[in-house]
Amino acid sequence: MEILNPAEFTRKLGLETLEKTLKKEDGGISLRIGFPMERANDEHRLCLTPGGASVLVANGHEVFMERKAGAGARFADNQYSEAGVIMCDSAKEVFSKSECIVKVAPPVPEELDFMEQGQILLSAIHLGNADKTYFETLIRKGITGIGFEFISLTDGSHPIVRMMHEITGSMSMQIAAHYLESYSKGHGIMLGGISGIPPATVVILGAGIIAEYAARTALGYGAQVFVMDNDLSRLRHLENSLNRRIITTMANQQYLSTAAKAADVLIGAAMVEGHRAPCWITEQMVETMKPGSVIVDTVIDQGGCIATSRPTRHTNPVFVQHDVIHYCVPNIPAGVARTSTYALNNVIVPFLLEVGDEGGFNRALWSNHSLRSGTYVYKKNLTKKSLSRFFDIPYRDVEMLIASRI
């Protein structure tokens, strides 16, 4: 009988991520795409796997990558070079050789200096940490900015955001379970309890993708799960998709106050795509929570939905306030960098291929809904009304800019 190791087993059963070489259509162009090393705090993810790189190269695109950019996700330089990637010795070299820069986190100030007139930037924005200077720099340099948070399909879904939210939701419960333990100075209880001992009470704010995957994981542990939102249709949808194994309530002040007092774990997942997160839990509510209970604010990168939250890092992820443990790391998926890299690759590589096939970014804006929806800076103009209101910068609609050929 043949004995397979795990890698061989997954290969034979077709469980590995499958890469497919796509044929370039007539009228397509070759793109010069750069992947610098991530320099944001504790960021180990990348937007490209070696398999994804081989697909881009096979379709005629030039791919440039800074050495050791994939190390955090356990991808070696030689894996990329063997796939046809041109390895560069510095971020500055990557920026100078590329027309399109693809990153996970938004550029740090040093990287903004490297960006050249007319380049395309594809990355997250992290609205909770963004400042006016960032957008003004992109506008001044004539950069075309495309944000992960804004890229949507015709059905209104956000594919990149969804991928990361699925990971974030699942990870949030693993994190909460750990910090409930006595050695983590938590309440000293198990999420699922045991025979004769009731499970922990988990309260989830919001009924979106993060909430769904947090609820699925919490139910898997055996916890009692409450989900709160101010959108009844979202609550109904989530309740039905989880076979009514959760308890749903409207997120009004009375229910929020009661839930905070009862919660062993409070997961902050209330958000509106493309906007700062709404603050639902006040500091007074946090003061009433059980000593040793745990808050995981998964939308801290959008500003957070709990008044006492403030950003932390993977290297120092928690702080205690009002005797409640707060975990507020903005980039939770970076803790599973390899899984996250595969997830990002699976969305971004087909996106880049489609842009190349349509003749480049400027031409693709005419026909590609996802590209238009994701664009927040174009032709030296801010193109998102929500950003204009928050940062007090004038904006022009991207479709008007395209139509006027400015």
Do 22-157+337-404 and 166-329 come out as alike in CATH topology? yes
144 contacts 378 by C-beta, under 8 angstroms: yes
User: Over pLDDT 90: what percentage of the chain?
Assistant: 75
**Kind plus residue range of the DSSP H or E element containing 225:** strand 224-229
Residues with a known catalytic role: 126, 301
Region of residue 24 (left: phi > 0; alpha: psi -120 to 50; beta: else): beta
- Minimum mean pLDDT among 94-103, 122-131, 238-247, 254-263: which range? 122-131
- Helix (H) or strand (E) holding 401, with range, is helix 398-404
Residue 223 is predicted with a pLDDT of 96
Q: Which fold has domain 22-157+337-404?
A: Rossmann fold (3.40.50)
The neighbouring-strand residues paired with 318 are 327
pLDDT at 101 over 60: yes
pTM: 0.84
The per-residue pLDDT for range 287-319, each reduced to its tens digit, is 999 999 999 999 998 889 999 999 999 999 999
How far is 300 from 339, CA to CA, in rounded Å?
Answer: 21
What pLDDT, in 10s, does the model give residues 341-390? 999 999 999 999 999 999 888 889 888 889 999 999 999 999 998 899 88
Pairing of strands 201-205, 224-229: parallel
Q: Is the pLDDT of residue 274 over 70?
A: no
Higher pLDDT, 326 or 15: 326
Gap between the Cα atoms of 271 and 306, Å rounded: 11
Q: What integer pLDDT is reported at residue 399 of this predicted model?
A: 85
**In angstroms, how far apart are the furthest CA atoms of the chain?**
70
pLDDT digits (tens, 9 = 90+) for 18-65: 444 444 445 678 999 999 999 987 899 999 999 999 999 999 999 999
Residue 126 has pLDDT above 90, yes or no: no
Domain spans in the chain, listed from the N-terminal domain onward:
22-157+337-404, 166-329
Report the C-alpha gap between 276 and 298 in whole angstroms.
Answer: 13
The highest-level CATH class for domain 166-329 is alpha beta
Euclidean distance between CA atoms 6 and 9, whole angstroms: 5
In angstroms, the CA 119 to CA 102 distance is 11
- Strands ordered across the beta sheet of 120-123: 86-88, 62-66, 32-35, 100-102, 120-123, 144-147, 375-378, 381-382
CA gap 402, 406 in Å, rounded: 7
Helices (H), 142-225: 159-179, 209-221
Extended beta strands in 92-152, E state: 100-102, 120-123, 144-147
